[in-house]
Amino acid sequence: MSFINYSSREINCKIVYYGPGLCGKTTNLQFIYKKTNPEQKGKLISLATESERTLFFDFLPLALGDIRGFKVRFHLYTVPGQVFYAASRKLILKGVDGVIFVADSQIERMEANMESLDDLRINLAEQGYAVEKLPYAVQYNKRDLPRVAPVEEMNKLLNVNGVQWFEGVAPTGVGVFETLKGVAKQVLLELKKHY
Amino acid sequence: MAGSDLVMHDNEFQKIDGELQRLHQQANANVVFLVDKNGQLIASAGDTHNIDTTSLASLTAGNIAATGGIARLLGEKEFTILFHEGEKDNIHISLIGQRVILVVIFGQRSSLGLVRLRVKKAAEALARIFDEIASKAEKEKVEGGKSADSPFAEISDEDIDNLFK
Ligand SMILES: Nc1nc2c(ncn2[C@@H]2O[C@H](COP(=O)(O)OP(=O)(O)OP(=O)(O)O)[C@@H](O)[C@H]2O)c(=O)[nH]1
Ligand SMILES: [Mg+2]
The residues spanned by each domain of chain A are: 3-194
CATH superfamily for domain B10-139: Dynein light chain 2a, cytoplasmic (3.30.450.30)
Q: Do B164 and A181 make contact, defined as CB atoms within 8 angstroms?
A: yes
How many Å apart are CA A64 and CA B161, to the nearest integer?
11
Residue B143 touches partner A, C-beta closer than 8 Å = no
Residues of A in contact with B13 (CB under 8 A): 5-8
* Residue A84 pLDDT exceeds 70: yes
* Residue A36 pLDDT exceeds 50: yes
User: pLDDT at position A174, please?
Assistant: 98
Q: Which residues of chain B have pLDDT under 70?
A: 1-3, 141-149
pLDDT band at A151 (very low <50, low <70, confident <90, very high): very high
Span A182-188, average pLDDT: 94
Give counts: helices (H), strands (E), chain A.
5, 8
Q: Taking a C-beta distance cutoff of 8 angstroms, is the pair A182, A195 a contact? A: no
Cβ count near B88 (within 10 Å): 7
Decide which of 3.40.630.10, 3.40.710.10, 3.40.50.300, 3.90.1150.10 is the CATH code for A3-194.
Answer: 3.40.50.300
This model of the complex carries an ipTM of 0.84
Q: Where are the domains of chain B?
A: 10-139
Instruction: Look up the pTM and report it.
Output: 0.92
User: pLDDT at position A29, please?
Assistant: 98
User: pLDDT at position A17, please?
Assistant: 98
User: pLDDT at position A119, please?
Assistant: 97
Which of A26, A27, A147 gets mutated to test ligand 1 (max ligand atoms within 8 A of its CB)?
A27
Q: What's the gap in Å between A180 CA and the centre of ligand 2? A: 17
Span A176-195, average pLDDT: 92
Residue of B nearest to A86 (CA): B69
Assess whether the C-beta atom of A61 lies below 6 angstroms from ligand 1.
Answer: no
Q: Going by C-beta distance under 8 Å and a sequence separation of 6 or more, which residues neighbour residue A99? A: A15, A16, A17, A18, A93, A120, A124, A131, A134, A135, A136, A183
How many Å apart are CA B115 and CA B26, to the nearest integer?
9
In chain A, the percentage of residues whose pLDDT exceeds 90 is 84
DSSP A8: T
For the stretch A111-116, contacts whose Cβ atoms lie closer than 8 Å and that sit 24 or more positions apart, written own/partner, are: A112/A20, A112/A21, A112/A23, A113/A19, A113/A20, A113/A23, A113/A154, A113/A157, A113/A158, A114/A157, A114/A158, A115/A20, A115/A83, A116/A18, A116/A19, A116/A20, A116/A23, A116/A81
Give counts: helices (H), strands (E), chain B.
4, 6
Residues of B in contact with A87 (CB under 8 A): 69
